[in-house]
């Protein structure tokens, strides 16, 4: 009997799709089913999928392109187990992935949303995350209750990470919003924030997936269309509406130091290539009425000082830790 469903949205998945599917088939835990939905591939993916003969694998072919989050909504509706593991076409599962995931999520009844660690430049991306997790004092897992999760999502970004890191207990499709013009690339960030506000989030340190990055992956294609930084303010607004205003001064300083440098880098890039209107529109939607002068000053500071987790960064990070602890 299947206990966990792996859902895989696919679009032009070659050449890495074979290894991704093989990594699911080779799991030590065997009570799984894999549901794949191809979203109109044109690179030979469909031909490959049609050759698969495995009773544990179901494959659907979309006549109309749904986009990655529309495809996830479809896959979610087709799963028939309480546990659902998202898995991307470019990635690989380590052999203990499903076993560890199943054991953990069935051990804790209140664990509705869980993210595991990954292997992929992880130290550089999440060094600050680890510092915060260490300060919270649990090496086995971190549990962010709803209120604390809003602060974590705001200060650390999408704490669930890549889609392949996420497993959830099946929920209604309303938690996958309408990912069309407004939320085409930051949709997972928004969806997990919404779900976490209802149920909280568990983070475990186990490296269970290998996340591959390459120039032709779907997320890079969407990022080239400049969607991500235009959509972030939508997520920020949702989070801030659920965080007490007394925390805003700390969150404002923290955001300038940690979240905005990359935004200002792209802001300048778009200005240089003549996309002035786009840059100003993105900037106008940022929270806390941060001035352009502040962005430039802190952006320069970040470029020269933030390569290491220095004293000033630790100071503001400790304040964030204290806020999170108040809401645990």
CA distance readout (Å), 112 to 108, 146, 147: 9, 12, 15
pLDDT category of residue 226 using cuts at 50, 70 and 90 = low
The answer to whether residue 204 scores a pLDDT higher than 50 is yes
- Answer whether residue 302 shows pLDDT above 80: no
Which has more confidence, 177 or 97?
Answer: 97
pLDDT value at residue 247: 96
Is beta strand 57-61 parallel, antiparallel or unpaired with respect to 32-38?
parallel
pLDDT above 60: residue 240: yes
**At residue 207, does pLDDT exceed 70?**
yes
- pLDDT surpassing 90 at residue 217: no
Of 120, 132, 200, nearest to 160 (Cα)? Answer: 200
Contact indicator for 32, 57 with CB cutoff of 8 Å: no
Tokens (6 digits) for 87: 């898995």
Q: What does the alpha-carbon distance between residue 27 and residue 7 come to, in Å, rounded to a whole number?
A: 15
Task: Report which of 105, 114, 98 is spatially closest to residue 33, judged by C-alpha positions.
Answer: 98
How confident is the model at residue 184, as a pLDDT?
A: 73
Q: Which of 161-175, 265-279, 303-317 has the lowest mean pLDDT?
A: 303-317
| Rounded distance between C-alpha atoms, residue 319 and residue 297, angstroms | 22
Measure the N-to-C terminal CA separation of the chain; round to a whole number of Å: 37
Average pLDDT, the chain: 83
In this prediction, residues 279-288 reach a mean pLDDT of 73
Q: What is the pLDDT of residue 213?
A: 72
All domains of the chain, ordered by start, with CATH?
Answer: 4-224 (3.90.550.10), 244-326 (no CATH)
Report DSSP letters for 41-65, one per residue: --SSHHHHHHT---TTEEEEE-SS-
- pLDDT above 60 (res 178): no
pLDDT value at residue 311: 66
- When pLDDT is cut at 50, 70 and 90, the band that residue 299 belongs to is low
Can you tell me the distance from the alpha carbon of 223 to that of 272, in angstroms, rounded to the nearest whole number? 18
DSSP output for 218-265: HHHHHHHTTHHHHHHHHHHHHHHTTS-GGGHHHHHHHIIIIIHHHHHH
Task: Specify whether the CB–CB gap between 161 and 227 falls below 8 A.
Answer: no
pLDDT band at 317 (very low <50, low <70, confident <90, very high): confident
List, for residues 85-115, the tens digit of each pLDDT value: 999 999 999 999 999 999 999 999 999 999 9
State the greatest distance between any 2 C-alpha atoms of the chain, in Å, as a whole number: 60
Determine the pLDDT at residue 219.
55
Please give the angle made by the CA atoms of 220, 231 and 235, to the nearest 5 degrees. Answer: 120
| 35-39: average pLDDT | 97
The confidence band for 2, taking pLDDT boundaries of 50, 70 and 90, is confident
Residue 126 has pLDDT above 60, yes or no: no
Contact 105, 83 (CB under 8 A): yes
- The percent of residues above 70 in pLDDT, for the chain, comes to 76
């Amino acid at each position: 009997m299947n206990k966990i469903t792996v859902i895989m949205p696919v679009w032009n998945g070659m050449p890495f799709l074979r290894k991704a599917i093989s990594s699911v088939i080779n799991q030590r835990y065997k009570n799984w089913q894999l549901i794949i939905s191809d979203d109109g591939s044109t690179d030979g993916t469909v031909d490959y999928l049609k050759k698969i003969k495995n009773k544990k694998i179901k494959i659907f072919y979309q006549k109309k392109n749904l986009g990655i989050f529309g495809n996830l909504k479809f896959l979610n509706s087709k799963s028939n187990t309480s546990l659902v593991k998202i898995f991307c076409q470019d990635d690989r599962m380590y052999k203990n992935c499903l076993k560890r995931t199943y054991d953990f999520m069935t051990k804790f009844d209140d664990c509705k949303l869980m993210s595991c660690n990954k292997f992929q430049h992880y130290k550089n991306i999440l060094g600050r995350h680890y510092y915060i997790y260490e300060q919270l004092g649990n090496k086995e897992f971190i549990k962010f209750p709803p209120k604390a999760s809003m602060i974590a999502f705001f200060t650390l970004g999408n704490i669930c990470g890549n889609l392949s890191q996420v497993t959830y207990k099946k929920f209604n499709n309303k938690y996958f919003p309408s990912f069309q013009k407004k939320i085409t690339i930051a949709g997972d960030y928004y969806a997990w924030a919404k779900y976490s506000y209802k149920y909280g989030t568990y983070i475990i340190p186990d490296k269970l997936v290998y996340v591959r990055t390459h120039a032709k992956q779907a997320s890079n294609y969407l990022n080239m269309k400049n969607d991500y930084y235009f959509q972030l303010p939508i997520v920020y607004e949702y989070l801030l509406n659920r965080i007490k205003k007394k925390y805003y001064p700390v969150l404002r300083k923290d955001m300038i130091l940690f979240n905005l440098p990359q935004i200002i880098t792209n802001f300048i890039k778009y200005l240089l290539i003549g996309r002035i209107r786009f840059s100003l529109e993105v900037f106008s939607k940022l929270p806390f009425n941060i001035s352009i002068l502040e962005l430039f000053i802190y952006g320069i500071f970040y470029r020269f000082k933030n390569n290491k987790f220095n004293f000033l960064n630790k100071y503001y990070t400790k304040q964030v830790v204290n806020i999170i602890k108040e809401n645990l």
